[in-house]
Amino acid sequence: MSDEENRINAENRAKCICRPCPTYNECMRADDERLFCVTGKSPACTFDKKGCLCPSCPVRSILNLSKAYYCIRGSEQEQK
């Protein structure tokens, strides 16, 4: 990944609203997992779907995303 991509990912990661999501759990919190829409689903955590805040996330419009539940289903690219 280029420096520019790393910079953009860091910016979007800061804007990610996964942490207050009802589906976000202690397992994901332990590793501060975020930005699943770019990095893919949570590698080790399992959880129940309790709603997804992605449709109201600012990163969604920045990256022109259309899916949801990235933490479970994988990145936008993986869901295409």
Q: Where along the sequence are the contacts to ligand SF4 (CB under 6 A)?
A: 12, 16-18, 21, 23-24, 34-37, 52-54, 57, 59-60, 65, 68-71
Choose between 4 and 47: whose C-beta lies nearer to ligand SF4. 47
Choose between 8 and 69: whose C-beta lies nearer to ligand SF4. 69
Q: Helix/strand/coil (H, E, C) string of 14-61?
A: HHCCCCCCCCCCHHHHHCCCCCHHHHCCCCCCCCCCCCCCHHHCHHHH
Choose between 3 and 40: whose C-beta lies nearer to ligand SF4. 40
Q: Least CB distance from residue 53 to ligand SF4, whole Å?
A: 4
Distance, in Å, from the CA atom of 18 to the CA atom of 63, rounded to the nearest integer, reads 16
